[in-house]
Amino acid sequence: MSQFAEPTETVEANRYELTALDRCDACGAQAYIRVQVATGELLFCAHHGRKHQEKLSTIAQSWHDESARLHESD
């Protein structure tokens, strides 16, 4: 059973919760994905979030995805 919300639903519910100060744990780019696991949280850019999503889905308690913001225009 998946515990993940659809990205658009998550973005609307928690609009701009992640900021430019939140950085990807893998590469240091701006984080758009927050994954809550039993030992804490992981932050990822959109690229690394997608790359690790399948593996993390087995241990993730929640998945907050704001990557849809990358396609918004100002």
- pLDDT at residue 8 tops 80: no
What per-residue confidence (pLDDT) applies to 7? 47
Q: Which of 16, 19, 26 is nearest to 50 (CA)?
A: 26
User: Average model confidence (pLDDT) for the chain?
Assistant: 85
pTM of the model: 0.76
Q: Tell me the two tokens of residue 18.
A: 């992640």
Q: Do the Cβ atoms of 24 and 48 come closer than 8 Å?
A: yes
- pLDDT at residue 12 tops 50: no
What per-residue confidence (pLDDT) applies to 41? 96
pLDDT > 70 fraction of the chain, expressed in percent and rounded: 77
Give the Cα separation of 23 and 8 in Å (integer). Answer: 21
Residue 34's beta-bridge partner residues? 43, 64
What per-residue confidence (pLDDT) applies to 57? 94
Q: Any idea what DSSP says for residue 26?
A: T
